[in-house]
Structure 1
Amino acid sequence: MYRILLVDDDAEVLDVNRRFFEKNNFQVEICTDSTSAMLSVRRFKPECILLDVMMPKLNGYQLCRQMRKVTDVPILFLSGKISEEDKIRGFQCGADDYIEKPYSLKEVYFRIVANIRRHQQLLRKKDENIIEVFPLSIHLENHKVFYLQEEIPLTNREYDLLLCLAKCPDKPLTFREIGIYTWGSYREEDKKTVMVNVSRLRKKIVDYTGRKDLIETVWSKGYRINRK
């Protein structure tokens, strides 16, 4: 069952649409103004939003921009404003689809499902390319590390070192295991190199996050990532 939010100042249209989608196993919430719609986005957490353009207070375009600040779910316009400029404006403010009134509710149903499925596939792909080690996120595709929305500038060696530990959270890794993963080989004299690079990595993490215990020393053995 998908959760959808319908936003329109026409109560009769909302009622007709709500009953149709509920019959088709959607969980539906309706709003007639921008204020209640924004509250619903945060509370109800819809998986898809259907917007009218002509709305009181904020119009649909303005409301769409506000919604894009708090959610990335599909937003579809259902509107009688059907000029090319209207449609372009809708997409520019963050919409994923623009459907002209009058419309077929059956078609709208399939457009909603298609957009939600596409969004879910993107989320799954994103999850596969990101390793979360609170409070850090490691982006595998572009080899970057973020604290909240701020990138932590790491050298390639520091990035590889963090990734090595993050792939085995809470598991102690030996100096040898870390050295082989990070540099491709290991000799006993490389232990100091590992220790120096861990020290530099720790300092950067502490400087950005304040968390001193993210990388723990395992006495006489190596290091591990502490997720707690």
Structure 2
Amino acid sequence: MTKILMIDDDTEVLDINKKYFEEKGCYVEVADRAQKGLELAKVFKPDCILLDVMLPDMDGFSVCTKIREKSTAPVLFLSGKVSEDDKIEGFEAGADDYIEKPYSLREVYVRIQAHIRRSSNKNVQDQGTMFIDMNPFFINLELHKLFYNDQEIFISNKEYDLMLFLAQNAGKEISFEEIGKKLWGNYVESDRRNVMVNVSRLRKKIEKQTGVDSLIETIWSKGYKLVIPK
């Protein structure tokens, strides 16, 4: 049974969402305060966490950061704060997805299941080797980490998934839609910004830690391509 924790100060939203997900066979706990949500995250050990940004006792970004100190469960923001800066801050806090209010509960449920599947499969390797070599970059598939020579590049779980997908298709043009479906399980045109935000964040981390700014190439109006350094 899928265990979902929802943290939102709107009790009406919590009631509606809880009823919907329970009808889908999920076990749901809710919290209308950040502190209560953090306590539930420890004892309930959810498979997925749905989190609002605007909370009365602590903002959702700070909550997500604290959750990430103890849990690798997928965190999905459900928020009316939808500026690019908001989304970037959410992903940088460790979120796996950022869904704008108002949203479709059916879509949220599909995204939850997709994130849980990917999270559960992280330790299942179907590659013939435990490394992807992009000298001087390489991905350790066992540790789920990206390295530059011997230096680890510190990235989030979602950024790792993005980097792995690009690396598995190195030199190939990957569309926004292909990336969106790989990262979130489905794709609508409004998800293009989410893809762009995630790629931008990953690029910035790579450049900041290595000085390399040309690893991920933009294919204008289409998507991206990973270019292995020569």
Check if 1:2 corresponds to 2:2. yes
TM-score (norm 2): 0.54
Shift of 1:140: 9.6
State the partner residue of 1:122.
122
Asked if 1:47 is matched to 2:57, the reply is no
Q: 1:4 to 1:88 in 2, by over 3 A?
A: same
The amino acid of 1:100's aligned partner reads: E
Match of 2:105 in 1: 105
Alignment partner, residue 59 of structure 1: 59
Q: CA RMSD in A?
A: 2.1
Q: CA deviation at 1:141?
A: 4.9
Question: TM-score, with normalisation over the residues of structure 1?
Answer: 0.55
Equivalents in 2 of 1:34, 1:7: separation in Å? 7
Instruction: Within 5 Å, give how 1:15-164 maps onto structure 2.
Output: 15-125=15-125, 141=142
Residue 56 of structure 1 deviates from its aligned partner by: 1.4
Cα distance, 1:34 vs structure 2:
1.3
How far apart are residue 35 of structure 1 and its match? 1.1
What per-residue deviation string (whole Å, max 9, x for no partner) do you get for residues 162-195 of structure 1? xxxxxxxxxxxxxxxxxxxxxxxxxxxxxxxxxx
**Deviations for 1:76-130, whole angstroms, at most 9, x for unmatched residues?**
00000011111111000000000000000000000000000000000344xxx8x
Q: Aligned partners of 1:10 and 1:48: how far apart in 2?
A: 19
* Secondary structure at the counterpart of residue 70 of structure 2: coil
Q: 1:20 to 1:141 in 2, by over 3 A?
A: closer
Contact 2:123 2:142 in 1 (8 A): no
Could you say what secondary structure the match of 2:90 adopts?
helix
Q: Which has the higher contact order (CA 8 A, sep 6+)?
A: 2
Offset from partner CA, 1:175-222 (integer Å, 9 cap, x none):
xxxxxxxxxxxxxxxxxxxxxxxxxxxxxxxxxxxxxxxxxxxxxxxx
Count of aligned positions: 132
Identity of aligned residues (%): 51
